[in-house]
Structure 1
Amino acid sequence: MKKMLSKVLKKITPTKKEIQLEQELVAQIRKKLSRIKGNHSHLEWCGSSARGTHLSKDKDIDLFLMYEKNISEEELKNEGLATAKKLFRGFKWEKAYSQHPYIRGIINGFKVEIIPSYLITNANEKKSAVDRTPLHNKFLLEKMSEEQKKDTRLLKQFLKGVGAYGADLKNCALPGYGVELLILHYGSFKKAIEGINEMKPRHIIKFTDKINEEGIKNILKNQNNPLIIIDPVDDKRNVASALNEEQFQRMIHASKEFLKKPNIKFFFPKKIKPLPLKKIKQYLDQKEIIAVKMPFLKSELPDIFWGQLRREEKKLKNQLEENDFKVTRSTTWSNEKDVFMLFELETLTLQKSKKIFGPRASDEENSKKFLEKKRKIISGPRIENERLVLETEREYTNAKEFLEKEIKKEAKIEQKTIRKSLKKAKVLGEKELLKEYKKDFAKYLTQYLIGKERFE
């Protein structure tokens, strides 16, 4: 395993040239800031590139424009944005939003974010979540050894390879800071993999003895996440809050398989080659799949939009099941241009009649209510298995027609952001789905239909 990990590390560690370019860029921006008048204290370089735990070809530079706490929030926002815009002068930039606005753009090929923030000494002083980030930086720079930085890169690439890495709601996985904390907690890559292998739902990782058994009980009472990594700089926060149950189980499964048989494919899975259209049609003929296609709204914050997409998928799944279209699998995919929601059903069509079981005839009060309820009765009432039974006419027997009706309804009542997408949504059957089989979606549909984990 040691030889293989060395090979992986060589491939994922930024080159001296990459590191030099990062350092030069930050130095240039700091020099530029020194010529700008304002109330800012200094510029703090945060994130994995500042800590030396980032992967090769990562181009993210997170810079925090620091202000003393006596500056008002309005002043921080207005002056901070104005200063950040000056630092981007001559380069492409845009205003983005987190808990408060910041500026992001491209400088010399790097994705740079400049975020106005308060200079604080502990998380209790924070005015927004971003104020906490420089504390993360300080904590890890003080605690992490050079070997652990290498191990962090290995664990990041492992989780990236198996599909369980990323802080956003698109992936619902583990963020980079969470990976760093796992290495700090377990000590090394191998021990972290062994630790993940042993995890059970509601697993807690903490970095202080101040949290006693009573404190753990309170955490479990208030947190419903499969993994709880208590932020060492803010014990009220779970660093792994974005990680869902599916990704948690994926991490465990991948770790188990890796320990059984270590292989480089866990770090670098084979690229997906789209199957021929004829083969895809054969797969689809064996399944009952219906899809919803809608545009991805680039004007919105990705995390907000992805949160709404996840909610909508769940909502449509529940509505299908409430109307007897049993959903065996559902998923949402996007290439940041189009969104596809896939629903795999037991059947796309239902029989015209539906059997409804009521109470026993001896239950006079409830029997009366059951029989008086207005329904389109096809057959009954009769006694079957000791109970009153009616056969009624279904309103919808076709899943596609039902989804089209539901989406029209959702487009009127849903939140403003996703409503714009739902108004342009189309429900796709097999023929329409095959017409969409191209480029990135072809790769995704191939992976979905084959139905294996990336490392299997």
Structure 2
Amino acid sequence: MKHAEVLKKITPSKTEASGAKKLAESTRKALKKHLPKGVKTLLAGSVAKGTFLRGAGDIDIFAIFPVSYSKEEMFKKLEKAAKKAFPRAQRETGYAEHPYLRIYLKKKRIDLVPSYKMEEGERVKSAVDRSQLHTKYVLSKMKAAQKKEVLLLKQFLKANLLYGAEIKTKGFSGYLCELMVLHYGSFEKFLKAASMWKLPVVIDQEKKYTSLRAVPDFKTPLTVIDPVDLRRNVAAVITRENLQRFMFLSAAYIAEPSEKFFFPKTMSLEELEEKTEGRNIFALVLDVPKTGLVSDKLAEDVLWGQLWRLSGQLESYLKKAEFNLLGIHPYKTDSDCVILFELRSPVLPKTQTFRGPYLDQTEHVSVFMRKRSKPFFFDHGRIHSLGKRKLWNISLAIKEFRKRKNAPSHMAGAQKAKLFAKESILEDYPEALEEYFRINWFPA
């Protein structure tokens, strides 16, 4: 297919692009005036590189400090300068490897990030230090036409919920998108290659290592050596499930290119009702924890890390209780954490088989028979017992799950979590349902 129509919809207008650049540059200059002598400022990220999607031009400005400053000093100096430069701007403190500031000017989100001055090949003191080198690298390598290819890749990933390296998504970062276009040449060439990958895959664009065999084993399905830091895998965060889903979607697109891969139709409530007809979909719902961070909410990455962990605990618990789990998906609104899950059946037989030891293990058999109740039966050389199942329906199982004391530290609300049935989910969390179908089912 021709990509012109897609590009028309996703490329920032000249007004938007120049406006973002002007705002970024004026913000950078205003901040620099109030920073200590010797501290440089740098515009980084997709606005600096000209690879941002229409309506998504958030701005990253780095304050680059000499190594003589501690991380605490850097942030204090940056915060002081921002207050003087932008006294009326809404400000938030964000938390990555160390704190940064987020301000809002002219309805644009602008991240002000303290970092250390760094040269290529130097060992980083914090992960954000590389960003200055990433920007320089991409600007020095990427041709104007390739920036359009990056936009196509970003939109493809965004439409399929695979764009973003944050813990919520565990997908492709913007920088990784740029590296893939540089390595393969175009959006379609990358998708063709990805559709035929045999995992694990290793990419070393700048040949930092003498051979691919010399590349360290990062124990990830995709390894992309950072051109500015040979010790870093740019694709480290991508899960195997997300990578395999991307490969599947790439193959589907190459076989039958369509705009639907870039702009999926939003599901109406009627469509969601039709999709959920006859299916056993539930949700565990708890309040978003409040901690005083980032507008009185837990920092997003920390919150999502714990929500994923709680989701994993629920998945293991349900499987151990012998429920046939068809899918599970964590989701978050401003006020609620939601774990959506689908079962083949919400009800299990009221009797349960308990498998015992092999019959020639006499002592173990005796212990098993004292512990379990009659009747006993033999199967494949083992003794078994037929007993009463304690958790024979999903309501009982969730009631027991809430009593567990091993929930992640900020997910203590799990003990008060509510179990929602399909009808309530359709009413309160239709977006969560749509995400679940898009990620777990094809076609959604």
Structure 2 distance, partners of 1:265, 1:52, is 25
Structure 1 distance, partners of 2:439, 2:20, is 40
Partner of 2:419: 427
Tell me whether 1:255 sits opposite 2:250 in the alignment. yes
Distance 1:127 1:435, change over 3 A: same
Q: TM-score, normalised by structure 1?
A: 0.89
Which stretch of the first structure deviates more once superposed, 199-208 or 330-339?
330-339
Partner of 1:296: 288
Aligned pair count?
438
Partner of 1:132: 130
Partner of 2:391: 396
Structure 1 distance, partners of 2:97, 2:114, is 11
Aligned residue for 2:81, secondary structure, equals helix
Partner of 1:338: 336
Gaps of 5+ in 1: none
Query: Post-superposition shift, 1:277?
Result: 8.0
Distance 1:272 1:195, change over 3 A: same
Query: Post-superposition shift, 1:385?
Result: 4.8
Query: Post-superposition shift, 1:153?
Result: 0.9
RMSD over aligned Cα atoms: 2.4
Structure 1 distance, partners of 2:417, 2:147, is 45
Structure 1 distance, partners of 2:365, 2:344, is 32
Quick one: which of 356, 362, 365 aligns to 2:363? 365
Query: Post-superposition shift, 1:276?
Result: 6.5
Q: Which amino acid aligns with 1:425?
A: A
Distance 1:14 1:305, change over 3 A: same
Partner of 2:80: 82
Partner of 2:293: none
Distance 1:358 1:277, change over 3 A: closer
Query: Post-superposition shift, 1:218?
Result: 5.7
Distance 1:353 1:77, change over 3 A: same
Contact 1:162 1:455 in 2 (8 A): no
Distance 1:9 1:163, change over 3 A: same
Query: Post-superposition shift, 1:66?
Result: 1.2
**Within 5 Å, which residues of 2 pair with 1:58-137?**
58-137=56-135
Structure 1 distance, partners of 2:326, 2:157, is 26
Structure 1 distance, partners of 2:219, 2:352, is 37
Q: Percent identity?
A: 31
Tell me whether 1:242 sits opposite 2:234 in the alignment. no
Structure 1 distance, partners of 2:301, 2:221, is 20
Partner of 1:417: 410
Aligned residue for 2:169, secondary structure, equals coil
Structure 2 distance, partners of 1:150, 1:143, is 14
Partner of 1:219: 216
Spell out, residue by residue over 1:58-79, the C-alpha distance to the aligned partner (whole angstroms, 9 max, x if none).
1300000111223333322321
Contact 2:89 2:103 in 1 (8 A): yes
Distance 1:116 1:9, change over 3 A: same
Query: Post-superposition shift, 1:139?
Result: 0.8
Query: Post-superposition shift, 1:48?
Result: 0.7
Aligned residue for 2:257, secondary structure, equals coil
Distance 1:72 1:346, change over 3 A: closer
Spell out, residue by residue over 1:407-427, the C-alpha distance to the aligned partner (whole angstroms, 9 max, x if none).
232xx43332222x3244112
Aligned residue for 2:207, secondary structure, equals coil
Query: Post-superposition shift, 1:436?
Result: 3.8
Distance 1:364 1:446, change over 3 A: same
Quick one: which of 138, 141, 144 aligns to 1:143? 141
Distance 1:229 1:364, change over 3 A: same
Structure 1 distance, partners of 2:399, 2:414, is 10
Spell out, residue by residue over 1:171-214, the C-alpha distance to the aligned partner (whole angstroms, 9 max, x if none).
2211111100000110112211212112222111112334234x
Q: Which amino acid aligns with 1:174?
A: F
Partner of 1:207: 205
Structure 1 distance, partners of 2:126, 2:400, is 42
Spell out, residue by residue over 1:382-428, the C-alpha distance to the aligned partner (whole angstroms, 9 max, x if none).
4445432221222222222121221232xx43332222x32441122
Aligned residue for 2:20, secondary structure, equals helix
Q: Which amino acid aligns with 1:406?
A: F
Quick one: which of 169, 172, 188 aligns to 1:171? 169
Structure 1 distance, partners of 2:90, 2:14, is 27
Query: Post-superposition shift, 1:141?
Result: 0.8
Structure 1 distance, partners of 2:137, 2:247, is 27
Query: Post-superposition shift, 1:335?
Result: 3.0
Contact 2:269 2:426 in 1 (8 A): no
Structure 2 distance, partners of 1:276, 1:7, is 27
Aligned residue for 2:237, secondary structure, equals coil
Contact 1:59 1:109 in 2 (8 A): no
Tell me whether 1:157 sits opposite 2:155 in the alignment. yes
Which stretch of the first structure deviates more once superposed, 344-353 or 129-138?
344-353
Structure 2 distance, partners of 1:271, 1:397, is 37
Which stretch of the first structure deviates more once superposed, 441-450 or 391-400?
441-450
Contact 2:25 2:43 in 1 (8 A): no
Distance 1:408 1:34, change over 3 A: same
Q: Which amino acid aligns with 2:235?
A: A
Q: Which amino acid aligns with 2:254?
A: L
Structure 2 distance, partners of 1:424, 1:154, is 44
Structure 2 distance, partners of 1:177, 1:7, is 24
Aligned residue for 2:357, secondary structure, equals coil
Structure 2 distance, partners of 1:388, 1:243, is 44
Aligned residue for 1:358, secondary structure, equals strand
Aligned residue for 2:84, secondary structure, equals helix
Distance 1:52 1:74, change over 3 A: same
Structure 2 distance, partners of 1:278, 1:304, is 33
Contact 1:69 1:120 in 2 (8 A): no
Distance 1:125 1:452, change over 3 A: closer
Contact 1:162 1:454 in 2 (8 A): no
Partner of 2:260: 265
Structure 2 distance, partners of 1:16, 1:205, is 35
Gaps of 5+ in 2: 290-295
